């Protein structure tokens, strides 16, 4: 048969595997979740050289120098389990319940996207990105929707061949969703407001490291780490406004309330994931008012550190 256009998610699949050595590809055999979109990009950073005219015009490009090879991958998926979180924050312990905690050097992964050409197997594609690190992760949960994660991944190496990686069965777990979500501020005190949505963004601020002798990144190191939490609620009382201002009538030196912790809980059936952050302060509050509509408030804040994510599939 002739080559045929492929359909994403029908003729393609996405897997990852943990590397023991940065940039050394391993067999990818794990799903991120129920993947909804995948957006890879390779950038050559070419330098286009011009010089004084010779036998060609000085206005034209005369030589091309290939620069640093940069690879980025965007993955959006619905959450079936939280194994991916190890590569966001750095460490996982236990055998269920699992506990995810911070590390200054999260493991790197190999990501493989396989395309099985529906027309001619000779043009199948197995794309391999080695030396991949999660630069940022955003976890979103809104009323009526599943819990969705978006990963911004940076890769060191990009290659391909026509022998596709074997497909792997999807986990049988149900999708985490809004019906099991709650916020405790501080942990142990459930937020009384009706919650419309919550969004957690974890940024690792990776720097890919290049050296003389290769266009390929040789290593990746995370720099400052940021935890941002946003949520939308229905207006209930003055507690959140007081926390943002620091007092009903703030003085010149009044500061916003500093909470010892904030916990975000996601429950699916008899399974749960509790994400506990240490020390949380609100950055801002915005009001939402439309005629004859319920009053709403949008809030965002910053946590100092992640205490843990506890994933329990045994309850």
pLDDT digits (tens, 9 = 90+) for 27-41: 999 999 999 999 999
The answer on pLDDT for 68 being more than 80 is: yes
Cα distances (angstroms) measured from residue 185 to each of 181, 254, 276, 302:
14, 20, 10, 13
What pLDDT does residue 315 have?
A: 64
- Bond before 186 cis per omega within 30 degrees: yes
Span of 42-51, 116-125, 143-152 with lowest mean pLDDT: 116-125
Whole-number percent of the chain with pLDDT over 70: 99
pLDDT in tens, 189-221: 999 999 999 999 999 999 999 999 999 999 999
Under the banding of pLDDT at 50, 70 and 90, the label for residue 314 is confident
Mean pLDDT, the chain, rounded, equals 95
Residue pair 160/126 in contact (Cβ under 8 Å)? The answer is yes
Phi, psi of 24 (to 5 degrees): -95, 110
pLDDT in tens, 174-192: 999 989 899 999 999 999 9
What pLDDT does residue 242 have?
A: 96
List the domain boundaries for the chain: 12-45+66-161+174-312
């Amino acid at each position: 048969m002739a080559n045929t256009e492929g359909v994403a998610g029908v003729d393609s699949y996405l897997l990852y595997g943990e590397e023991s050595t940065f940039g050394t590809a391993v067999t990818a055999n794990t799903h991120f979740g129920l993947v909804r979109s995948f957006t890879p990009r390779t950038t050559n950073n070419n330098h286009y050289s011009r010089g004084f005219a010779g036998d060609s015009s000085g206005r034209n490009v005369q030589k091309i120098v290939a620069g640093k090879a940069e690879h980025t991958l965007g993955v959006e998926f619905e959450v079936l389990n939280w194994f991916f979180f190890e590569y966001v924050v750095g460490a996982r312990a236990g055998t269920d319940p699992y506990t995810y905690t911070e590390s200054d050097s999260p493991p790197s992964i190999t990501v493989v996207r396989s395309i099985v050409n529906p027309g001619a197997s000779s043009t199948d594609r197995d794309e391999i990105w080695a030396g991949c690190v999660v630069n940022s992760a955003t976890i979103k949960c809104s009323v009526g929707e599943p819990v969705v994660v978006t990963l911004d991944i940076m890769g060191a190496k990009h290659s391909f061949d026509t022998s596709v990686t074997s497909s792997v069965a999807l986990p049988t777990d149900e999708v985490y969703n809004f019906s099991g979500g709650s916020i405790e501020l501080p942990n142990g005190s459930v937020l009384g407001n009706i919650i419309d949505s919550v969004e957690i963004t974890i940024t690792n601020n990776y720097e890919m490291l290049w050296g003389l002798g290769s266009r390929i990144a040789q290593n990746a190191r995370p720099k400052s780490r940021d935890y941002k939490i946003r949520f939308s609620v229905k207006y209930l009382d003055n507690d959140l406004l007081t926390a943002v201002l620091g007092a009903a009538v703030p003085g010149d030196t009044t500061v916003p309330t500093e909470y010892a912790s904030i916990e975000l809980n996601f429950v699916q059936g008899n399974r749960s994931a509790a994400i506990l952050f240490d020390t949380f302060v609100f950055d801002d509050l915005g009001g939402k008012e439309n005629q004859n509509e319920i009053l709403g408030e949008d809030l965002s804040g910053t946590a100092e550190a992640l205490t843990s994510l506890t994933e329990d599939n045994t309850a």
